[in-house]
Structure 1
């Protein structure tokens, strides 16, 4: 087996292979809907929505128009589809305006018309549309509480759908009687398309009672106006059995599972065996980091459960229950925790990154770590464990020059984790 002379370059190459497997033009080409008799209206939301829109334009050799919204800095030019920008992960006024534009775009269509919904991760924050008497500030409060709670994405979206005029299939209901085809890039563990971006065009069976149970389970501190709305509002999101969805279609065009398989195959071609733990790992980032570190240490010391050299791959979406006032995201927090468990081990290198190019609120997708990370921090009079307690993983890896900053990738298939053991 060959020795990987530059572990970081090897891990970064695997990341880019995983991202390329979800390239919008590649995945959309195999999933184009039939042309309608009438108009084609394209709508979309998410951190890869602009790239999906441009790819769809290139592939669709018929008239179309539309509007999509993406995160600030993620826009790319399109010819026939308007691209709007808004804030992520906390909604803002531009997101509220974008929601209005998407809802206006699908009103007044006929049964001969087609709505193509390009949906990917990040769409929940980019499409604020407070229901009833709620305000944008109320929806922002919900988002902040959810982000700090440590709740899994499925729980977050169950709550978001109850306080929105656009999520939970409501946007597709507005488009009736037009047919709606949703082309979804999944960033959700388990790949339930109704959970991606809180399912603006896809209904699910989540109820008000479910949302209230989740609020209690995760001890969410929400404004009284929000709680009153959820308890008393009778305008629940539509159910999948709603007749307005009878002609609609949902296609999952890209997911973490496919991308991890592509990365594993690339590693094997380089002479390194690859194993995929799971594409749907959830839980506290620091705890998941400790488990991955224990597996890596077992491989180093006892050559089990996998024989070295090997690269251990995993995906999914961890969470961070915020207790400190530091900077960082779930991938850098995972890595800082992992670094403590592999401290002093030779031949272990790791990369964890969000496939959309942004981890948390900074400009990095994630970071690199190895068996020297903790010691190198100590040389700089810094304690890795203290950084972890403060949720300040970004500062730790920034101090070492170990942040991974690929820039916006144009897709979002959740987290990518790779641990190389030589």
Structure 2
């Protein structure tokens, strides 16, 4: 783990607080380690000639845990490049996230093949990121077209549920596609949730559960996001076709093995307990636009202590800079705290997967000296935010949070400390 700190002032005055914020955050990340959850879920269960399919950022670690409990005939793992590693007895494939690539398309074909050829039960291990990692475009839609849709959705500020509603309608494997491909095999799915309300249909676009909505719903969502006319023509044509009547999905079993809520609870325990004096757990998921989220966070401040949040915010991209929602949220909190005259604070916002947007940082770690250090470095915070260039703004003052790929993903966590 690397905590990017360059400022002597920050190191001398805020070092202990920054370290504590990271420790609390990492307690939440450790709680999301899927190994224990997978092993507990599989304990006492028996399977007939099982095939294991593990997809997502936690794909390798979930498969590894499952293989300790189940002797499978076939194990196929699809994960992102950062988390890929060899796993004895398994076929591990790496693909791109968040924008799908050719390796992901080839991996999707291999998963379809393994599901269709399963001779017994299927164990599906699903974690966040699986949607982009397993692109299986419907007939008539190319991978390039699907990648364009994904990029438009990311830039639009759409939340994860809306994004996956649309993705499901463009995929052979999402929205219950696993169940149809595997039929008549029985599918047991273990899910590590990266969705704040644990909606199973939205996690990795719900490969083994019913879809979120219909093609008409996807069209309405795309029009509300004002991107319908920017879609590839093949996508518009497919979504305007009549709904397909594929009949009911085969029956299956789904078990939740980790979530954002559990990680927030773990942060509370690491802070001294959820009911300890001075520890405040925000009762609802932190969602919505990052600027609105910054106001929600600072509006909570009534006294000194530790304030804990979990959820997944959104960013509507207007500039062409580099960053992610956690980095931008950290900078927006710093700016708003400065406007409100908040003194002596540390704020951390990070992704539990260790990667925020298309960067090598998990998020940002700011404090009440961040604004002055930005000014000394010649960085205009308003300009940085207007260009969505939070990465380079935070990098200039050593306020990036870098922890490396974690092998898990339960959305984002935030820690605000006022000593």
Aligned length: 402
Unaligned runs of 5+ in 1: none
Aligned-residue offset at 1:108? 3.2
Once residues 244 and 135 of structure 2 are traced to their aligned partners in structure 1, the CA distance between those partners, rounded to angstroms, is 17
Distance 1:151 1:269, change over 3 A: closer
Matched residue, 2:312: 317
Say whether the 8 Å CA contact 1:138–1:226 is kept in structure 2. Answer: yes
Q: In 2, Cα distance between the equivalents of 1:195 and 1:418?
A: 26
1:228 paired with 2:225, answer no
* Secondary structure of 1:184's aligned partner: strand
Equivalent position of 1:159 in the other structure: 166
Aligned equivalents of 1:153 and 1:24: distance in 2? Answer: 21
Indicate the residue corresponding to 1:82 in structure 2.
Answer: 91
Q: How does 1:13-412 map to 2 (within 5 A)?
A: 13-32=23-42, 35-36=45-46, 38-60=48-70, 62-110=71-119, 113-220=120-227, 221-232=230-241, 234-235=243-244, 242=248, 244-246=249-251, 248-268=252-272, 273-278=278-283, 280-295=285-300, 299=301, 304=302, 307-308=303-304, 310-343=305-338, 344-412=341-409
User: Helix, strand or coil: the match of 1:283?
Assistant: strand
Secondary structure of 2:75's counterpart equals: strand
RMSD: 1.9
Contact 1:374 1:383 in 2 (8 A): no
Please give the alpha-carbon distance, in whole angstroms, between the structure 1 residues aligned to 2:266 and 2:202.
24
Check 1:415–1:393 CA distance in 2 against 1; reply closer, same or farther (3 A cut).
same
Mapped to 2, the partners of 1:47 and 1:264 lie a distance apart of 25
- How far the C-alpha of 1:382 sits from its partner, in A, is 1.3
TM-aligned CA distance change 1:209 to 1:34, over 3 Å: farther
Alpha-carbon distance change, 254 to 224 in structure 1, aligned in 2, over 3 angstroms? same
Shift of 1:286: 2.3
Paired residues of 2:165 and 2:212 also in contact (CA < 8 A): no
- Distance in 2 of aligned mates of 1:63 and 1:85: 21
**SS of corresponding position for 1:53:** helix
**Contact 2:175 2:208 (8 Å CA) reproduced:** yes
Is contact 2:334–2:371 with CA below 8 Å preserved after alignment?
Answer: yes
How far, CA to CA, are the matches of 1:361 and 1:132 in structure 2? 29
Distance in 2, matches of 1:57 and 1:22, equals 19
User: What whole-Å deviation, never above 9, does each CA across 1:196-235 have from its counterpart, x for those lacking one?
Assistant: 0101122135111111110111112311210110111543
CA deviations on 1:328-366 (whole Å, 9 max, x unpaired) are 000001111100111253221011000000000010000
Write the distance in 1 (CA, Å) between the matches of 2:327 and 2:32: 23
> Cα distance, 1:254 vs. partner?
0.3
CA distance in 2, matches of 1:205, 1:356: 25
1-structure distance, mates of 2:89, 2:314: 37
Distance 1:330 1:180 in 2: 35
Tell me, in whole angstroms, the C-alpha distance in 1 between the residues paired with 2:283 and 2:74.
39
Once the two structures are TM-superposed, the CA of residue 65 in structure 1 deviates from its matched residue by: 2.1
Structure 2: distance between partners of 1:65 and 1:386: 52
